[in-house]
Amino acid sequence: MNRFLSTHSRTIFTCLFGMAAILFFGYFCQYHLMYIEGMQLFLYTGEYFKETLIHPGGVADLFARFLTQFYHLPLVGGVIIALLLILFQAGIWSNVKNITATRKQSDWWLLTFIPPAAYWYLLCDFNYTLTGLAALTIVVWVSSFYSKLHKTSYRAGYVLIVIPLLWIAVGGAAAAAVLLMAFAEVLMKPYRKWLPFSGIVLGILFFLFIFFTLPIQNEPLQLFFGGLYYRYLKIPLFPYISMWTLTALVTAVAAVLPEFKKQWIHLCMGAIMCAALFFVICLRYDRTSEREYMFLFASKQMKWQQIIKESRKQLPNSLVAVNMLNLALAMTDSSGDDLFNYPQPSQGALILSYNQDMLYAQEILFNLGLINESRRYAFECLSQIPDRQQSAYFIMRLAESDMISGRDTLARKYLNTLNQTLFYKKWAQRRLFLLNTENGVDNHPVYGSLRKMQPKRNFNYTVLQFGQMLRNILEDNPRNHIAYNYLMMYYMLTKNIPAFCENLQIVHPLPRHYQEVLALTAGHSESDTPEFHKLPMDDQVFLRFKQFEKKLQAVEPGTLDKEYGNTFWYYFYMIK
C-alpha cells in the first residue's frame, strides 16, 4: 500500500486536486457558471469567429469562449476548469523538468500547484474570465517547448518570433512567456548564451512595434491585454502581473531548490497547501450570489416550487432573493397564505428600482404581462454587459418578448441567431416552429396567456408607483391573477389596509393572510354584529388575532416572533 501510494502519489494528488475543482466549480458554483455562460453567445458562424480572432488575444478568447459555452452544463464546466488548471500545472512542471534535466531532478513537484491554486482563487471572482487561464496555459507550454530546444540559434529564432506571435494569439499573458524563457535561459546550465537573450530583446522590440502601429482603437492597457481577461473594461493589473510573475518564479524556484529525500516534508507541504487553498476558497466563495442566480434560473425555467423549497430550507437573505421568492409565491397563488412565512423587508420586497436592479426585475415584469418593460430591462442589461458580449440569456428574453408582442420578424432574427449556437438551438427551433404555426403563439400556454395579459393602453410605469401600475394592469386585464396577487402583496407590505379591503376579491376559502388583514380591520369592532359575520374570515383567525393583541401589549415584543412571526399582524406592528 505504501509503495502504491508512493509510486502513484502525484497521480493521486492531481486527481484529488481535479476532483476538488470539479466539485467546487461544477456543484458549489454551478449557478455562477450558468450565469457566466448566459452572458455570452458563442455562435458557430464565420463572422463570429472572424470578429473574435481579429484582435490581440483573439485565439485565447475564442478558445475560452468555446469552452465557456459548456458551462451551460455546470458539471462539464467544472471538468473543463479542472482540466485547464491541471494542464496549466503540467505545463509549469514541464518547464521545471526541462530546466532541471540539465541540472538534477527536481523534487518540488508540489510547488507547481501554487500558480493553479492561485488562479483557482482568482476564478472565484467570476469577473475573471477563462481567457486569462487559457492564455497562461498556452504560454507555459509554448515556453516549455523553448527550453527543449538545444540549439542556440533555434532558441534565438524561436523567441524572436514567438513573443510577438504569442501576444497576438493570447494577449498580455505573453509577458509570462518572456519571463519563463528568460529564466530558462539563465538557469539551464549549458545555455546562458547571448544569442537567445538578444532574441528576447528583439522579440520585445518587435512586439512594441506591432503594439504601437496596430490600428486598433483601445486604451493602451486594454490593447496590451488584448483578450477579454476580465469582464470589465478596467482590467485589474496587479492580479495578472502577480499571476504571471508567480508562474515564472515558481518555475525557477522549483528548478533550483536542492533535492531532499524526506517524504514527510512533501506530505506536510501538500497538507498545508490543501488547507490554505480550502481556507481562502471558503473565504472567497459567494454563497449569496450563488443562491440569487439559482433563483434567477429557476424563475426563467418557471420552477417556482424549487424557489419556494429552497427558501424554506434557508431564508432569503438578499433583496433580489426575496423578490424572486415573492414572484414564485405570486405565480403559484400561494402569496395569500405564505407571504409572511418568510421575513419581508419594509421596502423593496416586491421589485427593486430601475437603478438598483434590472436583471431580476425583468423576470417579474415579464410574468406580470408588462412585456415591453421586460424587454426594455433585458435590452438595457444586454447593453450593460461589461465585456460587450451578446448574451444568450437576454436574447432569449428579447425573442420571447417580440413573439408575444407580435414582432415576428424581429423574433425570428433573434431565434435564428440562437439557432447558430450549440445549446440554444433546440429552444430556438421550437419557438420558430410556433411562429410558423398558425396561432402557435396564441395557443402556447405561457406566451398565449402573456399575450392576453399585455396592457391595452399606455400608462406611465415606474416602480416608485408600483401600486398604481398594478391597478392599471388589472383595469386592462381583470383576469391577470399574478397582478392581483402582487397588488394584494403590495397593500399588505405597505400596510395600506383600506386599499387592500377595497380591492380584495372574495373567494372561499380566503387565503390566510387576507383573513388576517380582515381580522385586524375588524379587531376593534364588535364581534357580534351582522357586518362582522359577513366577513369571509374564520373565527379562529379572529380569536388568534385577539390573543396576539393581548400579548402585544403585555409581553416583550421580541418574543412574539416565534408564535406570530408568520402573520400579517406581526409584520404590521413590528416591521418598520
Partner 1 sequence: MIRNIFFIIFLCLFAGGCSSEYQYIVADRFPPIFPDYIDVTVPSTIAPLNFMITAPCSSCQVSIKGANTAYVVKGKNKIRIPLRKWKKALETENILEVTVSIKENRGWIRYRSFHIYISEDPIDDILCYRRIMPGYAYYNFMGIYQREISTFKEKTIVENTLFGNSCLNCHAFAGNDPQKMQLHIRGTGGGTLIIDEEDVKRIDTRVDGLWGSFRYPYWHPDGRYIAYSINNTSQTFHNEPSRILDVFDTRSDIIIYDVEQNKVLSCKTLMDSTCLETFPAFSADGKILYFCSAPAPLTELEKTFYSLKAVSFDPQNGQTGDSIINIYTPKNGSTAFPRPSHDGRYITFTLADYGTFPIWHKEADIWILNTDSGQAGPAASINSENTESYHTWSSNSKWLAFASRRTDGLYTRIYIAHMNEEGIFSKPFLLPQKNPGFYSESLQSYNIPEFVSGTIKLSKQAILNSQIITTRNER
Summarize as ranges the residues that interact with partner 1 (CB under 8 A).
43, 45-48, 215, 217-219, 222, 233, 370-373, 375-376, 379-380, 382-385, 388, 390, 404-407, 409-410, 412-413, 416-417, 420, 454-461
Cβ neighbours for 277, distance < 8 A, ≥ 6 positions apart: 117, 120, 121
Nearest-approach distance from CB 383 to partner 1, in angstroms? 4
Distance CA 536, CA 506 (A): 7
Nearest-approach distance from CB 348 to partner 1, in angstroms? 21
Nearer to partner 1, 303 or 376 (CB): 376
Is the distance from CB of 456 to CB of 345 less than 8 angstroms? no
> How is residue 251 written as a grid cell?
518555475
Distance CA 474, CA 461 (A): 14
Nearest-approach distance from CB 484 to partner 1, in angstroms? 18
Nearer to partner 1, 209 or 260 (CB): 209
- Paired residues of 128 in beta bridges: 230
User: Which DSSP state fits 504?
Assistant: P
Is the distance from CB of 326 to CB of 339 less than 8 angstroms? yes
- What does the buried/exposed string (b/e) look like for 462-488 if buried means 16 or more CB atoms within 10 Å of the residue's CB? ebeebbebbbbbbebbeebebbbbbbb
Nearest-approach distance from CB 225 to partner 1, in angstroms? 12
CA 23 from chain centre, in angstroms, equals 17
Cβ neighbours for 30, distance < 8 A, ≥ 6 positions apart: 74, 75, 77, 78, 290
Nearest-approach distance from CB 39 to partner 1, in angstroms? 13
Cβ neighbours for 192, distance < 8 A, ≥ 6 positions apart: 185, 186
Nearest-approach distance from CB 56 to partner 1, in angstroms? 13
- Paired residues of 230 in beta bridges: 128
Is the distance from CB of 225 to CB of 174 less than 8 angstroms? no
Is the distance from CB of 196 to CB of 155 less than 8 angstroms? yes
Nearer to partner 1, 11 or 355 (CB): 355
Distance CA 327, CA 485 (A): 9
CA 454 from chain centre, in angstroms, equals 30
Q: How many helices (H) and strands (E) does the chain have?
A: 32, 0
Nearest-approach distance from CB 44 to partner 1, in angstroms? 11
Nearer to partner 1, 303 or 413 (CB): 413
> How is residue 488 written as a grid cell?
394584494
Nearer to partner 1, 194 or 459 (CB): 459
Nearest-approach distance from CB 412 to partner 1, in angstroms? 8
Nearer to partner 1, 262 or 456 (CB): 456
> How is residue 352 written as a grid cell?
427593486
Q: Is the dihedral of CA 504, 510, 511, 512 positive or negative?
A: positive
Nearest-approach distance from CB 211 to partner 1, in angstroms? 13
Nearer to partner 1, 343 or 440 (CB): 440
Nearest-approach distance from CB 469 to partner 1, in angstroms? 9
CA–CA distance from 547 to each of 225, 529, 573 (Å)? Answer: 67, 20, 14
Nearest-approach distance from CB 69 to partner 1, in angstroms? 17
Is the distance from CB of 172 to CB of 224 less than 8 angstroms? yes
Is 408 exposed, middle or buried (CB count within 10 Å of its CB: 0-12, 13-18, 19+)? middle
Nearest-approach distance from CB 409 to partner 1, in angstroms? 4
Nearer to partner 1, 33 or 483 (CB): 483
User: Which DSSP state fits 26?
Assistant: I
Phi, psi dihedral angles at 463 (to 5 degrees): -70, -20
Nearest-approach distance from CB 372 to partner 1, in angstroms? 5
With residues binned 3-state (H G I as helix, E B as strand, rest as coil), the percentages for the chain, rounded to 5, are 75, 0, 25
**Helix residue ranges, H only, 419-506:** 425-436, 440-443, 447-453, 466-476, 481-493, 497-503
Nearer to partner 1, 148 or 407 (CB): 407
Residues listed for the chain: 576
Nearest-approach distance from CB 388 to partner 1, in angstroms? 5
Nearer to partner 1, 476 or 538 (CB): 476
